Amino acid sequence: MSRAMTKRVHKALTDENLQTALTRLLGLIKFVRQLAFTGLDFESLSQEIRRVKENSIANLPQLVEQFKSQATKAGAVVYEAEDAEDAVKYVLKLAQERKVKHIVKSKSMLGEEIELREHLQKAGIGVTETDIGEWIVQLAGERPAHLVGPAIHKTIEQVAELISKATGQELGTDPQALLDAARRALRQTYIDADMGISGANIAIAETGTLVVVTNEGNGCMATTLPPVHVAVVGYEKIVSSWKDAAAIFRLLSRCTAGMKMPVYVSHITGPSRTDAIPGTMLHGAGGPGEVHIVLVDNGRWQMRESDEFREALYCIKCGTCLNVCPVFASVAGQVYGYVYQGGIGAILTAFLHSMDKAEEVASLCLGCMACKEACPARIDIPRMITRLRASLAEEKGLPMLNSMAYRSILKHQPRLDRVVRIGSYLQQPFVDADLMIRRLPGPLNALTQTISLPALSRNFLRDRLRDYSSPKLTDKPKVAFYSGCVGAYAYPEIGEQVMKVLTECGAEPYYPAEQACCGAPAYFAGDIETALNLAKTNIVALEEMKPDYIVTVCPGCAAVLQREYLNLTTAEPRWNQRARALAGKIRDFSQLLLELTPSMPKKPSRNQKVTYHDPCHLRRGIGVFNEPRRLLEREGFEVIEMADSDACCGFGGHVVLSYPELSKSVLKRKLDNIEAAGVETVITNCLACVLQLRGGLDKRCSRIKVMHSAELLASTFEITQ
Partner 1 sequence: MGAQVAGLAAQFKAEAGKAGAMVYEASSAEDASNYILKLAQERHVKNAVKSKSKVADKIKLRKHLEKAGIEVIEADLKEWMAQLAGEKPTGRKTIGQVEKLISKATGKKLNPDPRVLLNAANRTIRQYCIDADMGISEADVAIAETGTLIIVGNEGVTRLVAVLPRIHVTLVESQNLVPFMEDVITRLKSLKGNIAGQVVPGYVTYITGRNTTADIPGAVLARAQGPAEEHVILMNKAARRGSV
Regarding 278 and contact with partner 1 (CB under 8 A), the answer is yes
Q: Is 452 in the site for partner 1 (CB under 8 A)?
A: no
The reply to whether 355 sits near partner 1 by the rule CB under 8 A is no
Which of these ranges, 245-253, 394-402, 494-502, 526-534, lies near partner 1 under the rule CB under 8 A? 245-253
Our CB check for partner 1 shows the closer of 122 and 184 to be 184
Q: What is the DSSP letter of 581?
A: H
Residue 273 found at the interface with partner 1 (CB under 8 A): yes
Amino acid at 519: G
- Kindly indicate which of the ranges 283-291, 451-459, 521-529, 630-638 contains the residues binding partner 1, using the contact rule CB under 8 A: 283-291
Q: Which region, judged by CB under 8 A, interacts with partner 1, from 286-294, 347-355, 621-629, 700-708?
A: 286-294
Q: In sequence order, which residues have a C-beta less than 8 Å from that of residue 123 and are 6 or more positions away?
A: 92, 95, 96
Tell me which residue of 565, 623, 553 sits closest to 593, measured CA to CA. Answer: 553
If the CB atoms of residues 92 and 259 are measured against partner 1, the closer one turns out to be 259
Least Å distance between CB 153 and partner 1? 10
Region binding partner 1 by CB under 8 A among candidate stretches 258-266, 380-388, 470-478, 494-502: 258-266
Nearer to partner 1, 178 or 416 (CB): 178
**Vertex 366, ends 542 and 330: CA angle to 5°?**
155
The answer to the question of residue 26 lying near partner 1 (CB under 8 A) is no
The SS3 of residue 105 is strand
Q: In this structure, are residues 522 and 406 in contact, taking their beta carbons and an 8 Å threshold? A: yes
The number of residues that bind partner 1 (CB under 8 A) is 74
Burial class (CB in 10 A: 0-12, 13-18, 19+), 638: middle
28 binds partner 1 per the rule CB under 8 A:
yes
Evaluate whether 311 touches 246 at the Cβ level (below 8 Å). no
Which CA distances in Å does 501 have to 40, 178, 299, 504? Answer: 40, 63, 55, 5
Chain Cα centroid distance, residue 341 = 10
Q: Which is nearer to partner 1, 254 or 478 (CB)?
A: 254
Question: Residue 219 Cβ, how far from partner 1 at the closest point, in Å?
Answer: 10
Strand partners, 238: 203
* Residues 687-716 interacting with partner 1 (rule: CB under 8 A): none
Residue number with CB closer to partner 1 (131 or 297): 131
Pairing of strands 453-454, 436-437: antiparallel
Q: How much helix, strand and coil, in percent to the nearest 5, is found in the chain? A: 55, 10, 35
Is 175 an interacting residue with respect to partner 1 (CB under 8 A)? yes
Hey, CA dihedral for 317, 320, 324, 330, is it positive or negative?
A: positive
CB of 102: closest distance to partner 1 in angstroms? Answer: 17
Torsion of CA 179, 180, 182, 186, to 10 degrees: 130
List Cβ neighbours of 527 (8 Å cut-off, separation of 6 or more). Answer: 393, 398, 402, 403, 406, 407
- Cα separation, 258 vs 492, in Å, equals 47
The residue (of 281 and 446) whose beta carbon lies closer to partner 1 is 281
Please state the length of the chain.
Answer: 721
State the nearest-atom distance from the C-beta of 100 to partner 1, in Å.
Answer: 18
For partner 1, the binding residues in 564-593 under the rule CB under 8 A are none
Interface residue with partner 1 among 242, 417, 427, 470 (CB under 8 A) is 242
| Residue 359 burial by Cβ neighbours in a 10 Å radius (0-12, 13-18, 19+) | buried
**277 lies in the binding site for partner 1 (CB under 8 A):** yes
Residue 415 found at the interface with partner 1 (CB under 8 A): no
Nearer Cβ to partner 1, position 243 or 580?
243
Cβ closest to partner 1, residue 176 vs residue 607 = 176
Alpha-carbon distance of 257 to 318, in angstroms, equals 9
CB nearer partner 1, residue 135 or residue 565: 135
Nearer to partner 1, 292 or 613 (CB): 292
In the bound state with partner 1, the residue whose beta carbon lies nearer, of 107 and 578, is 107
Q: Three-state SS for 88?
A: helix
**Separation between Cα atoms, residue 291 and residue 231, nearest integer Å:** 8
- Taking CB under 8 A as the criterion, the residue among 111, 287, 367, 650 binding partner 1 is 287
Shortest approach of partner 1 to residue 227 CB, angstroms? 9
User: Between vectors from CA 463 to CA 458 and to CA 465, what angle results, nearest 5°?
Assistant: 130
Taking CB under 8 A as the rule, does residue 249 contact partner 1?
Answer: yes
Select the span of 205-213, 366-374, 453-461, 554-562 touching partner 1 (CB under 8 A). 205-213
CB atoms under 10 Å from CB of 696, counted, come to: 24
- We find the least distance from the C-beta atom of residue 116 to partner 1, in angstroms, to be 21
How many angstroms separate the CA atoms of 139 and 613, rounded?
43
Q: Which of residues 544-563 bind partner 1 (CB under 8 A)?
A: none
Find the binding residues for partner 1 in span 73-92 (CB under 8 A): 73-74
Under the binding rule (CB under 8 A), the answer on residue 24 touching partner 1 is: yes
Query: What is d(CA 410, CA 413) in angstroms, rounded to the nearest whole number?
Result: 7
AA letter at 546: K
Task: Return the range that interacts with partner 1 (CB under 8 A); candidates 203-211, 361-369, 560-568, 659-667.
Answer: 203-211
Q: How far is the CB of 641 from partner 1 (least distance, A)?
A: 28
Separation CA 158–CA 173 (nearest Å) = 9
Segment lying near partner 1 (by CB under 8 A), choices 39-47, 182-190, 692-700, 703-711: 182-190
d(CA 438, CA 444): 11
Q: Which of residues 108-167 bind partner 1 (CB under 8 A)?
A: 130-133, 136, 149-151, 154-156, 159
Within residues 32-71, the interface with partner 1 by CB under 8 A covers 70
Q: What is the CA radius of gyration of the chain?
A: 28
Q: Which stretch binds partner 1 (CB under 8 A): 275-283, 440-448, 555-563, 626-634?
A: 275-283
Residue 174: CB minimum distance to partner 1, A: 9
